[in-house]
Amino acid sequence: MNILVIGSGAREHAIIKALRRSPQNPFLYCCATTCNPGIRQYTKEYWIGDICNVGVIAHLAQQWAINIAIIGPEAPLEQGLADVLKQNNISVIGPPKKLAQIETSKAFTRDLLKKYAIPGSPLYRSFSELSGTKDFLQTLGEGNYVIKANGLMGGKGVKVAGDHLHSMSEAYQFCEELQQTGQSFIIEEKCVGQEFSMLCFCDGNSLVPMPLVQDHKRAFINDEGPNTGGMGSYSDANHRLPFLTEKEVEQAQHINEAVMEALTAEFRERYVGILYGSFMATRNGVRLIEYNARFGDPEALNVLAILESDFVAICEAMIGGKLQRSHVQFANLATVCKYAVPEGYPDSPVKNQLIDVSSVQNLEQLYFAAVNDERGGLYATGSRAVAVVGIAETLSAAEKLAEIEINRIKGKLFHRCDIGTSELIERRVRQMKELRECYV
């Protein structure tokens, strides 16, 4: 069995580690834009280049006799890598371009939910010009809107009232900026509550949810500072989150199932891959924030770290359209993931600084992201550098393990020491309780 992983972040390192645990002992290959030393040590071939060059990747995959390709990031999905690989008779974990619109086009997703009467969308409207924007912003009201570029913008395309937009005129200005760059965009109602990620294995006929995870996008403790790729995340031993009710979990599950069915109905093609719903629990129930057509980073680290089943067998079941809940077993353990990132990240990170991970004890739970070892030592290149995952019976014990390990990493780095702590989680639980009590 030859398996190709596309991408070289900590998410792909987690995918590689899960594949290595498979009793099928697959040969591993990687195509990526950078060399991740954590991944490279386990791969038979490691190609560095443009992962959106779908023709080259398909050619390499043929040359290497790849059986299954797992696409990590969204950009190659948008470029139709899954389509081209399938045309070359290579099975793929990752949807074709048309179905990947669930991530690559915010308007497509909102319109799909509307067309199939799927609950969970905030009030929204799509725009390709400025006409009507002022009126709609006013309809939503000051402080109550979010403006989103339609396409992939690497996390820079979303501005939220109160956080990034402080007046109607700033909001209008952002609409103007998007319109001038030829971007269509949506304006939607701002939701208030707690965000959570529900990732599912999906074979186009059925979905199997993974443990729920909460990511932390803000750079600094107490959710302050600029948005990042995600500073860390946690999941609980019962695969739920302490601030969610069972009804909220069911609502999110229902939305995911309805979306998978809507995608199949729309395109008459199976969605094979990861369907990752990003939701917010609000006082009026669960709202869909966005979809991703891939594993989350850092969420993949939490869930794959406790996956007990054979990941290769799960991939084969997804590809064959025969996925069942019984194929997918996760340990009943809590996980806390923390990223160490360069000082100054994300706005002006120090770059190419030597770091030292030699004191980390549990190497199986050490994940490399933006680091290279081309000059001998390990250098952090500027984005999220390395992550650790603590695994234990309780969240609080998992957090302590993660904190001890991350403090063993030396260099010009920082991390969020609050992720997974009882104090932070209790605050989330309190906020949701207060919101629900406000319900009228």
**Residue ranges in contact with ligand AMP by CB under 6 A:** 122, 146, 148, 158, 160, 188, 190-191, 195, 217, 278, 289-290
- By CB under 6 A, the residues from 208 to 227 that bind ligand GLY are 215
Smaller CB separation from ligand GLY, 83 or 215: 215
Smaller CB separation from ligand AMP, 137 or 409: 137
Kindly list the distances between the CA atom of residue 52 and the CA atoms of 31, 168, 196, in Å, as whole numbers in the listed order: 10, 38, 29
In the sheet where 353-355 sits, what is the strand order?
A: 353-355, 378-380, 371-372
Kindly list the distances between the CA atom of residue 130 and the CA atoms of 48, 105, 121, 333, in Å, as whole numbers in the listed order: 42, 19, 23, 50
Whole-number Å distance between alpha carbons of 234 and 397: 12
Position of minimal CB gap to ligand AMP? 290
- Look at residue 257 and give the partner it binds from ligand AMP, ligand GLY, none, a contact being a CB closer than 5 to 8 Å depending on partner kind: none
Q: How far is the CB of 111 from ligand GLY (least distance, A)?
A: 21
Please state the separation of Cα 371 from the chain's center in Å.
20
> Among the candidate windows 254-262, 267-275, 294-302, 304-312, which touches ligand GLY by CB under 6 A?
294-302
Smaller CB separation from ligand AMP, 217 or 427: 217
Smaller CB separation from ligand GLY, 140 or 213: 213
Kindly list the distances between the CA atom of residue 378 and the CA atoms of 37, 185, 409, in Å, as whole numbers in the listed order: 9, 41, 11
- Can you give the chain as a three-state secondary structure string? CEEEEECCCHHHHHHHHHHHCCCCCCEEEEEECCCCHHHHCCCCEEEECCCCCHHHHHHHHHHCCCCEEEECCHHHHHCCHHHHHHHCCCEEECCCHHHHHHHHCHHHHHHHHHHCCCCCCCCEEEECCCCCHHHHHHHHCCCCEEEEECCCCCCCCEEEECCCECCHHHHHHHHHHHHHCCCCEEEEECCCEEEEEEEEEECCCCEEECCCEEECCEEEHHHEEEECCCCEEEECCCCCCCCCCHHHHHHHHHHHHHHHHHHHHHHCCCCCEEEEEEEEEECCEEEEEEEECCCCCCHHHHHHHCECCCHHHHHHHHHHCCCCHHHCCECCCEEEEEEEEECCCCCCCCCCEEEECCCCCCHHHEEECCEECCCCCEEECCCCCEEEEEEECCHHHHHHHHHHHHCCCECCEECCCCCCCHHHHHHHHHHHHHHHHCCC
- Look at residue 292 and give the partner it binds from ligand GLY, ligand AMP, none, a contact being a CB closer than 5 to 8 Å depending on partner kind: ligand GLY
Smaller CB separation from ligand AMP, 26 or 232: 232
- Look at residue 159 and give the partner it binds from ligand AMP, ligand GLY, none, a contact being a CB closer than 5 to 8 Å depending on partner kind: none
Contact predicate 304/15, CB 8 Å: yes
Position of minimal CB gap to ligand GLY? 296
- Contact between 299 and ligand GLY per CB under 6 A: yes
- Look at residue 146 and give the partner it binds from ligand AMP, ligand GLY, none, a contact being a CB closer than 5 to 8 Å depending on partner kind: ligand AMP
- Contact between 297 and ligand GLY per CB under 6 A: yes
Smaller CB separation from ligand GLY, 248 or 297: 297
Q: How far is the CB of 11 from ligand GLY (least distance, A)?
A: 7
Q: How far is the CB of 301 from ligand GLY (least distance, A)?
A: 10
Smaller CB separation from ligand AMP, 120 or 211: 120
Whole-number Å distance between alpha carbons of 265 and 366: 41
Q: How far is the CB of 13 from ligand GLY (least distance, A)?
A: 14
Q: How far is the CB of 90 from ligand GLY (least distance, A)?
A: 25
> Among the candidate windows 15-23, 187-195, 293-301, 423-431, which touches ligand GLY by CB under 6 A?
293-301
- Look at residue 290 and give the partner it binds from ligand GLY, ligand AMP, none, a contact being a CB closer than 5 to 8 Å depending on partner kind: ligand AMP
- Contact between 72 and ligand GLY per CB under 6 A: no
Smaller CB separation from ligand GLY, 233 or 282: 233
Q: Which of 94, 96, 204, 230 binds ligand GLY (CB under 6 A)?
A: 230
- Contact between 296 and ligand GLY per CB under 6 A: yes
Smaller CB separation from ligand AMP, 193 or 390: 193
Q: How far is the CB of 195 from ligand GLY (least distance, A)?
A: 10
Smaller CB separation from ligand AMP, 61 or 293: 293
Number of residues that bind ligand GLY (CB under 6 A): 6
- Look at residue 230 and give the partner it binds from ligand AMP, ligand GLY, none, a contact being a CB closer than 5 to 8 Å depending on partner kind: ligand GLY
Interacting residues toward ligand GLY by CB under 6 A: 215, 230, 292, 296-297, 299
